[in-house]
């Protein structure tokens, strides 16, 4: 069974580093296709709505898988579940390598979502088992940092190396093979126990006592992920349009900036109170978006990138602040159900608005879609400080939780 609060063993720095790097590489792979979307679209001649469907497919399958397998590693052990995710991730990378049309791309993203959904909770739990103090922080910082570095690394390889549609996935295959071998050296921290099938029943529930804070704080995470969904799917096309270039590296910069500065925001604001974090989210994200929209209006790529750097800090703060406001309020026995509700709202806000934006580009164009989308996300984000100033979330959840 997972160790209880008084049974934590001494920190294992080696396992902490290994699992942190593994979590980073899984999320890096999720961002790798972002700089390639334009190349895929040009090569296979599919529409912008289909491009956003490819992006959303990953999030849909990740979410469904996470709902079914979130507690699986508590029963089967961390290593078997993580190994299963690695095998499926390798299959996803092979699909990308063999891809010749949109069907392959959709299959690759679906497999990738399943793999990431399987390992997300298992790796988070493994980090906590490795070091119950540093583990949660690594589980918060590593995904955003990994995603940002994955987007940037793919953009660099597409721009400077041969085989732009294949090389990055060959590199990822080698990394995952190394991690599969390295996993054998990690010690298991969970005693196998029955109930694995019963644990796979999805439970999504927000208790009435939690609902008021959930409604007030959740827009911070929804706004953050709505911006993230747009940036990871349509961001490269918008950036290349504004910069009047077809450079994949330039197109990758907004998504990379948003994710990397998001991880910096989580790290920098981690000791602040929940109230302060939510206020920062409701200030930095709309401010950054206003600068982004200024860059779109004036066709100034520098302004666009500065805006994304500022918005990224709000992106990280919004996700962390909403989670810290909501999760400590879960009644005993309902934490996993509340976490499921949190992820459902967050991931759907990254996928469904992006799909709608992809369809809107067909009718009104990319720039107009970006302006309207940006204004709506700004309004949603600005509702957060209004709610926070009306009622302090730290009154319900102790600071730092």
Instruction: Give every CB contact of residue 336 below 8 A, 6+ residues apart in sequence.
Output: 70, 71, 203
Alpha carbons within 13 angstroms on the beta-carbon side of residue 143 total 19
d(CA 97, CA 46): 19
pLDDT tens for each residue of 286-339:
999 999 999 999 999 999 999 999 999 999 999 999 988 887 887 756 666 787
pLDDT tens for each residue of 75-115:
899 999 999 999 999 999 999 999 999 999 999 999 999 99
Dihedral pair phi/psi, residue 133, rounded to 5°: -95, -50
DSSP 142: H
Instruction: Give every CB contact of residue 223 below 8 A, 6+ residues apart in sequence.
Output: 281, 285, 318, 349, 377, 380, 381, 384
Alpha helices by DSSP H, listed for 184-300, are 196-199, 211-233, 235-243, 248-269, 274-298
Task: Name all domains of the chain by residue range, CATH numbers in brackets.
Answer: 1-202 (1.20.1250.20), 205-401 (1.20.1250.20)
Which value, in Å, is the radius of gyration of the alpha carbons in the chain?
20
At 6 the pLDDT is: 40
| Residue 9 clears pLDDT 90, i.e. is over it | no
| Residue 389 clears pLDDT 80, i.e. is over it | no
DSSP 64: H
Q: Are 398 and 328 in contact (CB under 8 A)?
A: yes
Indicate the pLDDT class of residue 201, thresholds 50, 70 and 90. Answer: confident
pLDDT tens for each residue of 11-45:
788 999 999 999 999 999 999 999 999 899 999 99
pLDDT tens for each residue of 276-287:
999 999 999 999
Instruction: Give every CB contact of residue 293 below 8 A, 6+ residues apart in sequence.
Output: 307, 370, 371, 374, 375
């Amino acid at each position: 069974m997972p160790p209880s609060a008084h049974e934590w063993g001494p920190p294992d720095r080696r396992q902490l580093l290994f699992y942190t790097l593994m979590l980073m590489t899984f999320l890096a792979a999720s961002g790798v296709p972002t700089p390639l979307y334009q190349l895929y679209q040009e090569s296979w001649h599919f529409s912008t709505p289909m491009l956003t469907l490819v992006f959303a497919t990953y999030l849909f399958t990740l979410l469904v898988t996470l709902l079914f397998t979130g507690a699986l590693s508590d029963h089967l052990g961390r290593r078997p579940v993580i190994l299963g995710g690695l095998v499926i991730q390798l299959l996803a990378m092979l699909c990308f390598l063999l891809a010749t049309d949109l069907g392959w791309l959709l299959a690759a993203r679906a497999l990738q979502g399943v793999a990431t959904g399987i390992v997300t909770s298992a790796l988070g739990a493994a980090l906590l088992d490795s070091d119950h103090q540093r583990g949660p922080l690594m589980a918060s910082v590593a995904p955003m940092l990994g995603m940002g570095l994955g987007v940037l690394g793919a953009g660099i390889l597409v721009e400077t190396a041969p085989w732009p549609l294949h090389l990055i996935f060959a590199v990822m295959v080698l990394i995952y093979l190394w991690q599969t071998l390295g996993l054998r050296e990690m010690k298991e921290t969970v005693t196998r126990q029955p109930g694995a099938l019963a644990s796979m029943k999805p439970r999504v529930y927000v208790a009435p006592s939690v609902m008021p804070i959930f409604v007030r704080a959740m827009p911070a995470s929804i706004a953050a992920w709505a911006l993230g969904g747009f940036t990871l799917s349509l961001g490269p096309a918008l950036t290349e349009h504004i910069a009047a270039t077809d450079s994949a590296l330039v197109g990758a910069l907004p998504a990379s900036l948003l994710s990397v500065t998001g991880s910096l925001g989580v790290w920098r604001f981690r000791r602040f109170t929940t109230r302060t974090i939510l206020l920062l989210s409701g200030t930095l994200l709309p401010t950054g978006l206003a600068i982004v929209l200024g860059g779109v209006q004036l066709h100034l790529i520098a302004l666009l990138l500065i805006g994304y750097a500022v918005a990224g800090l709000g992106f990280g703060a919004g996700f962390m602040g909403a989670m810290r406001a909501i999760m400590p309020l879960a009644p005993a026995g309902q934490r996993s159900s509340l976490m499921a509700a949190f992820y459902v709202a967050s991931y759907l806000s990254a996928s469904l608005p992006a799909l709608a934006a992809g369809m809107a580009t067909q009718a009104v164009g990319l720039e107009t879609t970006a302006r309207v989308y940006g204004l709506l996300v700004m309004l949603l984000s600005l509702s957060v400080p209004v709610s926070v100033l009306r009622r302090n979330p730290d009154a319900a959840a102790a600071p730092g939780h």
